[in-house]
Structure 1
Amino acid sequence: MQPDFIIGGAPKCGTTSLHQILHQHPDAWVARNEVYFFDADDPIAHGDFLGVEDGELSWRDPSQQAFRDWYAARFAEAPEGALIGEDTTTYLMSDAAPARIAATLPAARMIFVLRDPVARAHSQYWHLVRSGRTHLSFERALSDERSIVLGSTYAPQLRRFREALGPERVHVVLFEEFNADRQRVLDGVTAFLGLAPIAADDVETWFNRTRYPRRTETLLRLNRIGRHLVPYRYARHFGPGAPLGARVGHRAYRKWSGFVSNRILTEDAAPEDMRPTTRRYLERHLSDRNAGLSELLGTDLSRYWPGFTQ
């Protein structure tokens, strides 16, 4: 089986909620977890998936039949006749994904959820902190963790998808509109997919509760240790055949992550906001990286995103 639609990004933009809502639709089915197929060899988005064995690089190749069979198996549980979907938020960051998706899934439709790029970047930083991937301040992580800025670079990536698939197969949702008028946004999504409308009041629409540390520095210090375990987080993502060392590392990461979740992430709000100078920098830089985005989407995004000028 293959998917009929893909929620392709962006990370930290409410895609989990959309995933779960569509999975509750009686005529749709969405694979349980993010799949990471069309960008599995991307060293920026998925450095954990690349390995070095005896000095030789190893990676997941989406063109290899065994990996393609693994991908098809992700949808084996889909009910007959259901519209099948997958959700991988990093596809929007990938230069290679648009052409690969167009070649492999010639009729599939793409849905993207976009958020104020500054707020999204800050949210992704906290995701990296919570998962142990960085021990740096937000300001230092901007240059060390390239995915923070790349994940908020929407315009050039959307153009690639529209060129590869055709604009009629690409649908964009604004996170801010999704929160303000969920029913109208859902009506647009179901119409795009050819599904019957679904009432927002009839489905659970809030997921992925976010927790924060009481003190940022406490978790950043812990992450100096945890970041050595993070590469094993997805050791079992592609199946049980991981080497023994990777399986041991995966168990160690799970224990460390459980400790952080239960003992450190105890607050409902971030312990501090973004520094004003950092916000000014990101508003200018991310506006310029998204030049022409308002025109591309046919809406004035400055109405939703403070400081956005494109």
Structure 2
Amino acid sequence: MSGGHLLAPRRRRALHRLRRAGYRLRPGPRELPRYFIVGAKRAGTTSLDEYINAHPLVLRGLVEKGCRYYDVNYSRGPEWFRQQLLPVSTVDRLERKLGQRPILGESSPYYAFHPESAQRIAADVPDARLIFVLRDPVERAWSHYRYEVVRGFETLDFAAAFAAESDRLAEPDPQTWGHNHRHFSYVARSRYAEQLVRLRSSFDPEQVLVIESEQLFADPRSTMDAVFAHLSLDPVPMASYETFKGQTASAVPADAAEMIRAAVADDVARLEGLLGHAPSWAD
């Protein structure tokens, strides 16, 4: 179970491997996740996951952030997914000890963007609570591009990658399409309205909390109060709010910013209608 202090990720991953090996041998039903952080990529989902897991009534899963069953691992099947989850008996024991049933969640920055993930989650956990983190679409797309360059997936300069995006995402080969859809969807993943509509088509809008990355880092305590309320948990402030998986600052080049902003302008206008207010970064 999580506490207010976070173990070093490398040490924690080693502990998770040991826990996973032990729990997989235990018989019986598994506890399903009750909440899902569904994106967006490069919008602070790792930090949000850490902040949520610092709550004493939130259990950290057997895999860091989550096993990504409902997007990239769905073909492995439900039995594989079962082996990634805590036994119900373990959660029952903790409920007796704590006087309240703890919850666990799953996080993938690809869930909101994947065309089938929302339907898959709804089929298994129809009462799930979803959290969708938005970031200035220009900043997010540029951060995503830099991230793929650093990881070695992207070899084109941004102008060429921007020009190639539509063709990359129209790739007919399923395996190539899957790779491109995850790694080269810089502008497409910044079109939040399309993703929010898809989430709301599978879940009641009340089940989908939308927060802004900028607010998460500028005022983490108030933002997390809203997150915990969405999860029916009492707020528990942290002593400090670190940033996880952040990048060194890099201003978006003016030409790149102009291209991205023009490409998402219609989506930003649609998003304002869906949210009932303008995002903080909208012009």
TM-score (norm 1): 0.67
Report Cα offsets for 1:219-239 as digits up to 9, x if no partner. Answer: xxxxxxxxxxxxxxxxxxxxx
Cα distance in 2, alignment partners of residues 287 and 29 from structure 1: 39
1:286 aligns with 2:264: yes
Partners of 1:164 and 1:284 lie apart in 2 by 29
**Structure 2: tracts of 5 or more residues without a match:** 1-30, 95-100, 166-179
2:221 maps to 1:163: no
Q: 1:205 aligns with which of 228, 234, 242?
A: 242
Q: Is the 8 A contact 1:75 1:84 kept in 2?
A: no
Structure 2 equivalent of residue 276 of structure 1: 254
1:254-310: CA deviation from partner (whole Å, max 9, x where unpaired): xxxxxxxxxxxxxx444xx43322211211211223441112112212xx21xx45x
Alpha-carbon RMSD across the aligned residues, in angstroms, is: 2.0
Change (3 A) 1:203 1:67: farther
Q: Which residue does the alignment assign to 2:67?
A: 35
Separation (CA, whole Å) in 2 of partners of 1:27 and 1:12: 27
Letter in 2 for 1:295: G
Alignment of 1:228-243 (within 5 A): none
Asked if 2 retains the 8 angstrom alpha-carbon contact of 1:8 and 1:90, the reply is: yes
Q: CA separation in 1, counterparts of 2:45 and 2:209?
A: 13
Distance 2:85 2:242 in 1: 23
Q: 2:229 aligned with 1:191, yes or no?
A: yes
1:68 to 75, 78, 81: 78
Identity of aligned residues (%): 32
Q: Distance in 1 between matches of 2:216 and 2:249?
A: 21
Q: How does 1:1-310 map to 2 (within 5 A)?
A: 1-31=31-61, 32-40=64-72, 60-61=74-75, 67-76=77-86, 79=91, 80=94, 81-142=101-162, 143-144=164-165, 146-200=184-238, 202-210=239-247, 268-270=248-250, 273-301=251-279, 304-305=280-281, 308-309=282-283
Shift of 1:23: 0.8
- TM-score if structure 2 supplies the norm length? 0.73
Query: Given that residues 112 and 195 in structure 2 are in contact (C-alpha distance below 8 angstroms), is that contact kept between their aligned partners in structure 1?
Result: yes
Number of residue pairs matched by the alignment? 223
Q: Within 2, Cα distance between the matches of 1:209 and 1:124?
A: 11
Which residue number corresponds to residue 54 of structure 1?
none
Superposition deviation, residue 205 in structure 1? 3.1
SS of structure 1 residue aligned to 2:186 = helix
Which structure 1 residue ranges, 4+ long, deviate > 4 Å from structure 2? none
Describe the SS at the equivalent of 2:209: strand
Between the aligned partners of 1:150 and 1:14, the Cα distance in structure 2 is: 18
Change (3 A) 1:175 1:16: same
- AA at the equivalent of 1:126: R
CA distance in 1: counterparts of 2:66 and 2:161, whole angstroms: 24
Which 5+ residue runs of structure 1 have no aligned equivalent? 42-59, 211-267
Letter in 1 for 2:68: Y
Report the AA paired with residue 71 of structure 1: F
CA distance in structure 1 between the partners assigned to 2:80 and 2:244 by the alignment: 28
For 1:112 and 1:83, the matched residues in 2 are separated by 18
- Tell whether the 8 Å contact from 2:40 to 2:112 is kept in structure 1 after alignment: yes
**1:209, distance to aligned residue in structure 2 (A):** 4.1
Q: Deviations over 1:147-182 (max 9, x none)?
A: 112211110111121121111110011011112211
User: What is the alpha-carbon distance in structure 2 between the residues aligned to residue 16 and residue 148 of structure 1?
Assistant: 19
Tell me how far apart the structure 2 counterparts of residues 207 and 94 of structure 1 sit (CA, whole Å): 23
Partner of 2:26: none
